[in-house]
């Protein structure tokens, strides 16, 4: 967005937190930044506002701006997960959100059922990335000298630092156990460049041989070449869906969420979803195995990996399931999320395509 001309008032990493503990710790900083942003936007007399994800930060900004300008069109790209927790948020959005631009196909139905704002499915950026990166499985294996008969296992502990810290030791031990039972395993881990040094140190301490891939195109080649993947819950499960890569999913929450999870009734009141895996949610069927918090252990993860590896029928069933989920989320559609979102915004603003410039 900055390359396209966006003037950024602060680094997005200041808001890149996940989990109750991290969110609570970021509240004072987030409040100051939100107030700064609102003052700037009011001074610029903007014509429309598009908030993207980060609801704990962006929704107060939208409310404050709506209070200052009741006629300001406000769009919410990437819907809050009202289908997972705090469902009452959908109805509370009505006074300050004109339209939600959803990235998951079931979200328009959910917002309608919950009495929330108008909601339009525009596609998911993960699918767009899959379309733009065409590196093949064969090209990836050739580039990194991985023979076709070797099992390629993806290790995907997350992209945020906190996720990597919580998952790395568990995931590494799980894939080590898997590699001890399966001959010739090549473990591959895509890494964000600024995290590579820290990840390398952790892997060295764990005495595990992992091929780290930094290039975005190579990452998609690895996804297509992989026989199976061990992934943290999140957007990466949708990326694996786009490449029909069999997977198992594990996730460890932070200390506060883990404590809440010990009390089923309280946990159920706060969080209500049938799965934490996006393709499972999209299809309404839990085909991708998942292991949440205390169930996410090296033993359970390695056993699940072995089960998928040893059964052609299990792998094929999951591939067919992921293929259907990929169709639902727009993998076969030539249009990208940005195009659909722009069209929805222009329609709401009563602009005709002929009035806009390319």
Q: What is the DSSP string of 201-259?
A: HHHHHHT---EEE--HHHHHHHHHH-SEEEEESSHHHHHHHHTT--EEEEE---HHHHH
pTM comes to: 0.83
Q: Which helix (H) or strand (E) holds 154?
A: strand 152-156
The domain limits of the chain are 12-123+334-355, 129-328
Model pLDDT for residues 191-217, shown as the tens digit of each residue: 988 788 888 887 877 778 899 999 999
Residue 86 sits at φ, ψ, to 5 deg, of 50, 60
Domain boundaries 129-328, CATH class: alpha beta
Model pLDDT for residues 50-83, shown as the tens digit of each residue: 999 989 889 999 999 999 998 999 999 999 999 8
Taking the C-alpha atoms of residue 324 and residue 242, their distance in angstroms, rounded to an integer, is: 10
Taking the C-alpha atoms of residue 344 and residue 304, their distance in angstroms, rounded to an integer, is: 42
Model pLDDT for residues 282-314, shown as the tens digit of each residue: 999 999 999 988 899 999 999 999 999 999 999
Model pLDDT for residues 136-162, shown as the tens digit of each residue: 999 999 999 999 999 999 999 988 777
Q: How many CA atoms lie within 13 A of 183 on its CB side?
A: 2
Q: How confident is the model at residue 355 (pLDDT cuts 50, 70, 90)?
A: very low
């Amino acid at each position: 967005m900055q390359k396209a001309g966006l003037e950024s008032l602060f680094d997005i990493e200041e808001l890149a937190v996940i989990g109750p503990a991290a969110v609570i710790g970021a509240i004072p900083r987030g409040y100051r930044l939100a107030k700064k942003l609102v003052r700037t936007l009011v001074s610029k007399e903007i014509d429309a506002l598009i908030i993207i994800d980060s609801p704990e930060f962006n929704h107060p900004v939208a409310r404050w701006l709506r209070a200052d300008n009741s006629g300001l069109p406000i769009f919410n790209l990437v819907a809050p997960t009202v289908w997972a927790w705090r469902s009452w948020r959908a109805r509370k959005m009505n006074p300050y959100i004109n339209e939600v631009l959803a990235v998951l196909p079931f979200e328009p139905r959910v917002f309608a059922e919950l009495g929330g704002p108008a909601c339009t499915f525009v596609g998911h950026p993960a699918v767009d990335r899959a379309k733009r990166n065409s590196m093949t499985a064969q090209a990836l294996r050739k580039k990194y000298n991985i023979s076709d008969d070797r099992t390629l296992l993806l290790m995907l502990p997350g992209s945020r630092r906190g996720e990597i810290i919580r998952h790395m030791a568990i995931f590494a031990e799980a894939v080590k156990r898997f590699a001890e039972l399966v001959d010739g395993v090549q473990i591959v881990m895509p890494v964000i460049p600024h995290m590579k040094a820290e990840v390398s140190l952790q892997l060295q301490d764990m005495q595990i041989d992992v091929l780290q891939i930094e290039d975005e195109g190579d990452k998609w080649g690895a996804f297509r070449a992989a026989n199976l993947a061990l992934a943290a819950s999140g957007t990466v499960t949708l990326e694996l869906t786009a490449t029909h890569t069999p997977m198992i999913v594990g996730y460890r929450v932070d200390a506060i969420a883990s404590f809440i999870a010990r009390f089923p009734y309280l946990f159920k009141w706060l969080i209500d979803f049938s799965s934490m895996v996006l393709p499972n949610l999209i299809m309404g069927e839990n085909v991708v195995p998942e292991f949440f918090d205390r169930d996410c252990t090296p033993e359970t993860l390695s056993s699940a990996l072995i089960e998928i590896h040893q059964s052609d029928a299990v792998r094929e069933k999951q591939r067919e399931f992921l293929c259907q989920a990929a169709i639902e989320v727009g993998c076969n559609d030539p249009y990208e999320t940005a195009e659909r979102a722009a069209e929805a915004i222009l329609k709401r603003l009563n602009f005709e395509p002929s009035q806009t410039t390319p």
